[in-house]
Amino acid sequence: MKKYNFLIFILGNLVSLSLQGADNAITWNLPSGRTGDKLLSYCIAKWVSRYLNISLLVKPFKYSDAFVFSQVEQQYSKKKTRSLKQKKISFKYGYYKGRQISLDTDFEEKNTLFLVDLYFAHTSWYNFESIIKQDIIFPYSLSYDTTFCHKGDTGQRVRFNYMNYVFKADEKFFSSLKVLLKTREPLETVTIPGDAISVAVHVRKGGGYDQMYKSDQIYATSLNLNHYRNCFSNKNNVAVDDLLRSLRDKTITKVSVSENPNVVGYIDIVRPLKHPPDQYYIDQIKAIAALFKLPLFVYIFTDDQHPENIVAQYKKALNNDNIIFACRPEENNHYSNVLTDLYAMSKFDCLIRAYSSFSQMSQLIGNHKLVISPIYAVWNENQLIIDEILIERSKDFDDFIAQCKKKYFSK
């Protein structure tokens, strides 16, 4: 605890020193979403502030006072910035006044408060696919006769992945960010047994907050475990995957929500990667169980009001005695247990998530050995199919699996 308090003290002094004599400052427009979106926007703003060497002014939001950064960062107020002229720069889609944003030239003015909208990040952060392509797989054996694909899938899929990559590339920044994202007071957490690989599964259902779903939630699939094996053994064939992408792009009919307003009422059409069907989660658990051949402790984190029903469905679909399931049995909805779940998910060995800022923040905070997330989605009749996934492994992933096999099977 003394070491932790000392780190807070040092961070506080660094923030204060960086503001002395500053003639510029930067703040951001809070996104309209919930806790995960707002925390993610703070992280991006913090990185931009560091990159530009401009003081950051933090705007408070729900739960923000629970975090260390609320204690050490300079808070935004109109009084503090009344002597500065304002310049609004939107990072949305990476353009400003019809041209691409330059982090080096668009922030040159003096005595200026830069007000940025950067939830969707900088345009250069979208050019990341080549770096992560070796860790992207097609989980199913599919023939592409799909009829509908929302155009928005590909635009969002790499934003967080690149942001996470950039943060970790700067070890000093990343270590300080992790301290800033700690809670000021300890939180209750999930008891994780020590005799199994722990798997956190974030099943985003809305819990009364989001709209209804169109897709069937459980359906028959042809899971291709060889694709997983190749990725785990670093033998993923990128050229073959590119051919599949090309075939898919030529075959499917891409229809945007704006071109088909009748489907706007379905949240999994508007945001398919944020709201994948149950089958996506079931198949990722199945793949981990089949490849590791080790006991699993699977905890369902969800905003659904009846998580026990999800557990019952997954147990029935998987029918594997080597998997122990658990969930919070009561008081579950979209506004309860927010910080508790955020941090509990970060403590597990593995994380299976949707494209949700909430579980993305858990990934950022945590030290998972394995993270699986959706990259692309297509429709076939009433089935939303996650046909590309990203598999992220820690540097010590192979050693971790070897140690687990020795631990659980040694006599």
> Other CB atoms closer than 10 Å to residue 29's CB: what's the count?
17
Amino acid identity, position 284: Q
Task: Report which listed range, 147-161, 168-182, 276-290, is most confident.
Answer: 276-290
CA distances for 292 relative to 124, 171, 322, 402, 403, angstroms? 37, 31, 11, 10, 12
Mean pLDDT, rounded, of the chain: 82
Question: In this predicted structure, what is the pLDDT of residue 260?
Answer: 64
CA–CA dist 361, 35 (Å, integer): 10
* 74 in Cβ contact with 56 (< 8 Å): yes
CA–CA dist 273, 375 (Å, integer): 7
Structure tokens at 307: 């998580």
Question: In this predicted structure, what is the pLDDT of residue 21?
Answer: 43
Kindly state the average pLDDT of the residues 356-368.
92
56 compared with 305, residue with greater pLDDT: 56
Kindly state the average pLDDT of the residues 182-200.
91
Question: In this predicted structure, what is the pLDDT of residue 227?
Answer: 93
Question: In this predicted structure, what is the pLDDT of residue 284?
Answer: 98
Amino acid identity, position 4: Y
**86 bridge partner residues:** 113
CA–CA dist 41, 58 (Å, integer): 11
* 351 in Cβ contact with 368 (< 8 Å): yes
Count the alpha carbons within 13 Å of 60 in the hemisphere toward its beta carbon.
9
Q: Is the dihedral of CA 255, 256, 260, 262 positive or negative?
A: positive
- pLDDT per residue over 91-129, tens digit each? 655 555 656 666 667 788 889 998 887 654 555 555 566
- pLDDT per residue over 214-259, tens digit each? 888 999 999 999 999 999 888 888 888 888 888 887 777 666 655 6
Count the alpha carbons within 13 Å of 217 in the hemisphere toward its beta carbon.
12
Question: In this predicted structure, what is the pLDDT of residue 122?
Answer: 52
pLDDT confidence band for 20 (50 / 70 / 90): very low
Kindly state the average pLDDT of the residues 343-357.
94
Cα-only R_g, the chain? 22
Q: What percent of the chain stands above pLDDT 90?
A: 41
Residue 6: pLDDT over 70:
no
